[in-house]
Structure 1
Amino acid sequence: MTTMTIYNIALITHITGLALMAGATIQDFSVSNQFWKHFITDPSRGLAIREARGRSPLFFALGGIFLILSGLTMMVLTKGVFGEQLWFRIKFGLVLVIIINGIIVGRLQKNKLGKMLDEGAAEGGLLKVKNTINRFHLAQLFLFLVIFSLSVFKFN
């Protein structure tokens, strides 16, 4: 296999990883909205819908692994040429922000929601968590849009 073929395979894997992470975020956002929509009128149905999001973190993590491994492969093959460019540094930082935000804000809020639901928390507390989770999803989706844009336009 030529270096260019390996690079192209890594690039396809890289795009796939980013798409998996963004897709998992969109799916999680959608399921979260459905949960809240149904939880108000039929809590048991809402809880059943919430269980449907079970695979989102797995796809997000798998996409992150693809993204990191393929990115490292491309950096090695290009001898780090992209690493010196401003668009890449911004993109790299934003990917880290997405991963850290997903771990810290996303996971913590979803765990907090789970505990609150188990304990039968008051509606006011649930509303605060709902708003935080919605802002989390919107921030993540905005960051993905910026990353896709940086990857396409590659300014310096």
Structure 2
Amino acid sequence: MEMSITFYDAALVGHIIGITLMAGAAFIDLAAFQIFWKVFLKDPAEGVRLEKYLNKLQKFMGIGMLVILISGILMMVKMHEVWGAQLWFRIKMGVLLLIIINGLGLRRMLGSRLKRTLAAYFTGVDIAEAMVKLKNRLMTVQTIQVLLFIIIYVLSIFKFN
């Protein structure tokens, strides 16, 4: 099946939109959680309300990933022989796998753990130590996620072989 260049360009636009959506959600996740930690220290109830909204950002990660996968498959129909053998593309696929593991795996797991820890706070359990660990782990996962997206952008722009 021959794919027109216009169809390929449309798939590329979708791919860029998906990457931007995921990368933007990762950056907002990191920045917004900085606010969450400050708010929670001053007003835990307000912090819990904020955390509920922050975890909804993960949906944008999933939507972005779906757009990336669909558009990537459409582009590969046309360009597989060109890109499939190139080193930059293989590295990009490995980084994408790390993004999935880190963002859709570890980040989601830590978000669930944070939700359980916050629920324990209102039962009178001392969560101070658990919150410090969660904060450090979340910040690490979120920072790595943003850095992985920077690597994806660099690889996609420079396309070395």
Post-superposition CA distance 1:99-122 (Å, at most 9, x none): 111232101111111111111242
**Alpha-carbon shift at residue 45 of structure 1 (Å):** 1.5
Which residue does the alignment assign to 1:155?
160
CA contact (8 A) 2:120 2:127 kept: no
1:1-156 aligned within 5 A: 3-120=4-121, 121-156=126-161
Give the total of aligned pairs.
156
Post-superposition CA distance 1:2-35 (Å, at most 9, x none): 6100000000000000000001111211221111
User: Does the residue aligned with 2:81 lie in a helix, a strand or coil?
Assistant: coil
Give ranges in structure 1 of 5+ residues lacking alignment: none
CA contact (8 A) 1:31 1:50 kept: no
Q: Distance in 2 between matches of 1:122 and 1:55?
A: 23
Q: Distance in 2 between matches of 1:42 and 1:26?
A: 24
CA gap 1:96/1:117 in 2 versus in 1, 3 angstroms: same
Q: Distance in 2 between matches of 1:123 and 1:54?
A: 21
> How many percent identity over aligned positions?
38
TM-score, normalised via structure 1 length:
0.94
